[in-house]
């Protein structure tokens, strides 16, 4: 591992002021479960690491009016087990419960989970300079791509690796971001970016910005949600395909739907076409199938991942029918 300076920030202000304007200058660390791996493997070699763990008041899950607010340093395990989350956001607590292993869920923070870097094997190989790392080629396009994107992957075909980000998107979460001049809040759908907008990064964060909080509106009465994840191994594995579905129901009639695919695209992929197939309709085998088919409209499989298209249709249908 390359030598680096270590800053133990005592406040959010100190953290953002310690970061630089260049990604190689400094990296922010939550639990370090992703960052340290990248540094050990020379995938990312910042000169400085700014550790957030000593910053007070960034670890909480609390209700504020109709919002549930989650501090950036809250562990994934706490999100999994918290009763406020379980009772309001079943799809989020289920997604958190399926992240990695108990050790990683205890160590990993919720902000680190949504900000983790891609798992594309070419990206994770320090000897390969692919497009995302400033090189000239996407090696997945012509190489091994069985886990890569079937939607939204123009230029780079990573899938976003975070399970919790998929559920947060289904609940219209907002992300609070601190920067040297103050803070701002954005909708989660504005937070993640496609390769066509930024080929090198997965979200809008600048090198000297950090996530401080994720807030989620409490769903309207009658809302039910679920999360399904397909893994190659039974546990401790990233998703091959995932889906979070949240439905506001009146009996079996769907008033509002959110359907978000995970491991389908470089961002958590909200499928508006699938949602339209459900809203205003009674949920049954037929409508669930139509939504499932619509969930992958415009898919563009690569040489080795066409199997994922049918997989998504299956889990979308299963998730919808689970809720009625
Ligand atoms: C073997 C293994 C299996 C895994 N399986 C899964 C899985 O199934 N599902 C899943 O979702 N994840 C999985 N992960 C990823 C794991 O969940 C992440 O490593 C973890 O969530 C990262 O959290 P952290 O706090 O340790 O982040 P760190 O390692 O500290 O940081 C991760 C990235 O986020 C940035 N970052 C951290 N905190 C902030 C912040 N507050 N603001 C801005 N940027 C920040 C860092 O600079 C870094 O780039 C797996 C990881 C491993 C090693
Ligand atoms: S999919 Fe993206 S990260 Fe992977 S090789 Fe292609 S450009 Fe690089």
Question: Domain spans of the chain?
Answer: 61-115+161-217, 223-322
Pocket of ligand 1 (CB under 6 A): 27-35, 52, 72, 76, 99-100, 104, 107-109, 111-113, 115-117, 161-163, 205, 210-211, 236-238
- Residue 265 and residue 298: Cα distance in Å, rounded? 12
- Residue 320 and residue 113: Cα distance in Å, rounded? 26
Answer whether residue 235 shows pLDDT above 90: no
List the one residue out of 177, 205, 208 whose CA is nearest residue 15.
208
Q: Which atom of ligand 2 is nearest to the CA of 157?
A: 1
Among 15, 34, 169, 192, say which to mutate for ligand 1: greatest number of ligand atoms within 8 Å of CB. 34
Q: Which residues of 13-28 are buried (b: 16+ CB within 10 A; e: fewer)?
A: eebbebbbeeeeebbb
The pLDDT assigned to 211 comes to: 98
Answer whether residue 116 shows pLDDT above 90: yes
Eight-state DSSP code of residue 137: B
Domain 223-322, CATH: 3.30.390.50
Q: How confident is the model at residue 297 (pLDDT cuts 50, 70, 90)?
A: very high
Domain 61-115+161-217, CATH: 3.30.465.10
Per the CB < 8 A criterion, the answer to whether 1 and 27 are in contact is no
* pLDDT tens digits, one per residue of 153-203: 999 999 999 999 999 999 999 999 999 999 999 999 999 999 999 999 999
* pLDDT tens digits, one per residue of 253-267: 999 999 999 999 999
Q: How confident is the model at residue 234 (pLDDT cuts 50, 70, 90)?
A: confident
The pLDDT assigned to 290 comes to: 98
Is the C-beta atom of 302 inside 6 A of ligand 2?
A: no
Q: What ligand has the least distance to the C-alpha of 161?
A: 1
Question: What is the ipTM score, two decimals?
Answer: 0.99
- Residue 129 and residue 136: Cα distance in Å, rounded? 8
Per the CB < 8 A criterion, the answer to whether 89 and 216 are in contact is yes
> How far is the centre of ligand 1, averaged over its atoms, from the C-alpha of 117 (Å)?
7
- Residue 257 and residue 277: Cα distance in Å, rounded? 9
């Amino acid at each position: 591992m390359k030598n680096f300076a270590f800053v133990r920030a005592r406040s959010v202000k100190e953290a953002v002021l310690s970061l630089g304007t260049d990604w190689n200058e400094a990296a922010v660390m939550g639990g370090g479960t992703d960052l340290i791996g990248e540094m050990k493997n020379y995938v990312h070699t910042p000169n400085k690491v700014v550790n957030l763990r000593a910053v007070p008041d960034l670890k909480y899950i609390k209700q504020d009016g109709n919002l549930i607010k989650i501090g950036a340093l809250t562990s994934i395990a706490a999100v999994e087990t918290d009763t406020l989350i379980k009772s309001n956001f079943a799809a989020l607590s289920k997604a958190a419960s399926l992240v990695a292993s108990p050790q990683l869920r205890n160590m990993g923070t919720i902000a680190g989970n949504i900000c983790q870097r891609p798992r594309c094997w070419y990206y994770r190989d320090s000897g390969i300079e692919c497009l995302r790392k400033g090189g000239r080629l996407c090696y997945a396009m012509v190489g091994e791509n069985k886990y890569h994107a079937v939607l939204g992957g123009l230029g780079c075909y990573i899938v976003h690796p975070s399970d919790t980000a998929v559920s947060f998107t289904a609940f219209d979460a907002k992300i609070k971001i601190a920067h040297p001049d103050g803070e701002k809040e954005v909708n989660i759908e504005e937070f993640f970016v496609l390769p066509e907008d930024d080929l090198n990064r997965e979200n809008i964060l600048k090198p000297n910005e950090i996530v401080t909080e994720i807030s989620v509106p409490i769903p309207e009465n009658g809302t039910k949600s679920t999360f399904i994840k397909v893994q190659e191994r039974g546990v401790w594995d990233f998703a091959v395909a995932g889906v979070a579905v949240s439905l506001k129901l009146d009996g079996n009639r769907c008033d509002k739907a959110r359907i978000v695919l995970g491991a389908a695209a470089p961002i958590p992929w909200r499928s508006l076409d699938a949602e339209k197939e459900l809203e205003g309709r009674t949920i049954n085998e037929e409508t669930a199938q139509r939504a499932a088919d619509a969930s992958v409209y415009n898919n563009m499989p690569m040489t080795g991942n066409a199997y994922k298209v049918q997989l998504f249709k299956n889990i979308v249908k299963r998730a919808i029918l689970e809720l009625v």
